[in-house]
Amino acid sequence: MQFDGDALTISLNMSMEEVREFEQFVRPRIEYIETIEVEEGSILKVSALLALLVSLKRTRPEITIPFLERGISATDVYGTLHWMGHD
């Protein structure tokens, strides 16, 4: 995880414990974050991270989360994943 100004870059490879730690880090700082980017090549390991990103977007709709907004992810491990809109 890298926090640079108003942009936060995360890996999707988080374990459940790392997702909990990420939530504890990000919730108090949500008003200062404009964008949450995902590291290129990282693979979603737990659906709780996807749920957390949706929750953050609902808490602060003006935050930009390109990974979430695309609604699709393709990996060699899981193939193509689609999810419904976050609105």
Strand partners, 38: 10
H or E element that contains 77? none
Query: Phi then psi for 74, rounded to 5 degrees?
Result: -125, 130
Query: Phi then psi for 82, rounded to 5 degrees?
Result: -120, 150
pLDDT of residue 26: 93
Q: How confident is the model at residue 5 (pLDDT cuts 50, 70, 90)?
A: confident
In this structure, the dihedral spanned by the alpha carbons of residues 86, 32, 38 and 85, taken in order and rounded to 10 degrees, is 10
Structure tokens at 72: 């699709």
Structure tokens at 14: 């988080």
pLDDT of residue 68: 84
Q: Answer whether 0.85 is exceeded by the pTM.
A: no
User: Tens of pLDDT along 29-87?
Assistant: 999 999 999 998 888 888 899 899 999 999 999 999 988 887 666 666 666 666 666 45
